[in-house]
Amino acid sequence: MRLQDKVVIVTGSCTGIGKAIARRCVAEGARVVVHGLERELGEAVVAELGSDRAVLHIEEITAENAPQHLVDLALASFGRLDAIVNNAAMVPSSTIETTDLNLFRQVLDVNTLAPFALIKAALTHLQERRGCVLNIGSVNAWSGEPCLMAYSISKGALLTMTRNLGDSLHRAYGIRVNQINPGWILTEREIERKREQGMPDDWYTSLPAELSPAGRLLMPTEMAAAAVYWLADESGPISGQVVDLEQFPFIGRNLPKN
């Protein structure tokens, strides 16, 4: 049990990557605060994990007191807080032509400022446990897809925050801060997005080799397996690191020539 008795807040864990991380945390001996906006889905996750191992909080992550509510719930339910996984994210289609400042601010609020606010709210309690933070970013932080402009920029800012806090919090508080940048993951939301774009339900079974050399997309369970290392004591003193999880080199990749 690599996370035995640890208490972990996982934002955006009613579905997708967050749900997979919450499941894996409990399988490794942790107790989790499940968070999201979909009450019915969240209740199903808690029922699956067990009410002695998981508790649910439904609230928009950008609400003024949401970070404190999550911290308070972890302490009231389990008596301690060892780790935070900042996974909740907003992923709208967005180009310079279609992005106004209101949308841009919304994306930054959810993807960058909310993680900062949760870390700040949990600081004292994480210090007590010499705990850690794992931010879930995106390979798009390095440059981004043209149709994911605001999202890509928000994840780039998250990456810089991870580097910054990974140094300063480790030195001052003993809190490690690291980040995983996933590539293309087959989540429920990704299937829905592609359906909304008019693609067939089985679109992910016939992807071109330049986009998926393995012949398939990454799965949320594979992300969750990687997350455990950064949440566990076995990652030791490592802090301020950003790891890309994609099936090809995102930077300097050699695409096939036409």
- Which token pair is 221? 């369970």
Per DSSP, helices labelled H in the chain are 16-27, 39-49, 66-78, 101-108, 114-129, 149-173, 188-196, 220-231
pLDDT score, position 233: 96
Instruction: Let me know if residue 28 belongs to a domain.
Output: yes
Instruction: Let me know if residue 141 belongs to a domain.
Output: yes
In this model, does residue 196 exceed pLDDT 90? Answer: no
pLDDT score, position 258: 54
Could you report the per-residue pLDDT of 218-236, keeping only the tens digit for each? 999 999 999 999 999 999 9
Please say whether the beta carbons of 32 and 24 come within 8 A. Answer: no
Where residue 239 sits, what CATH number does that domain have?
3.40.50.720
Location of structure tokens 């996974």: 87
Instruction: Let me know if residue 100 belongs to a domain.
Output: yes
Instruction: Let me know if residue 48 belongs to a domain.
Output: yes
Provide the annotated active-site residues: 151
Could you report the per-residue pLDDT of 7-25, keeping only the tens digit for each? 999 999 999 999 999 999 9
Could you report the per-residue pLDDT of 98-157, keeping only the tens digit for each? 999 999 999 999 999 999 999 999 999 999 999 999 999 999 999 888 899 999 999 999
**Residue bearing the bigger pLDDT, 122 or 211:** 122
- Which token pair is 213? 């050399």
In this model, does residue 184 exceed pLDDT 90? Answer: no
Strands across the sheet containing 54-58: 54-58, 31-36, 7-10, 83-86, 132-136, 176-182, 242-245
pLDDT score, position 110: 98
Confidence of residue 207 (pLDDT cuts 50, 70, 90): confident
Confidence of residue 190 (pLDDT cuts 50, 70, 90): confident
Instruction: Let me know if residue 23 belongs to a domain.
Output: yes
Instruction: Let me know if residue 203 belongs to a domain.
Output: no
**Residue bearing the bigger pLDDT, 11 or 185:** 11
Instruction: Let me know if residue 87 belongs to a domain.
Output: yes
Instruction: Let me know if residue 206 belongs to a domain.
Output: no
Helix (H, G, I), strand (E, B) or coil at 81: coil
- Which token pair is 248? 């090809």
Q: How many domains does the chain have?
A: 1
Provide the residue range defining the domain that includes 160: 7-183+218-245
Could you report the per-residue pLDDT of 31-70, keeping only the tens digit for each? 999 999 999 999 999 999 999 999 999 999 999 999 999 9
Does the model's pTM come out above 0.85?
Answer: yes
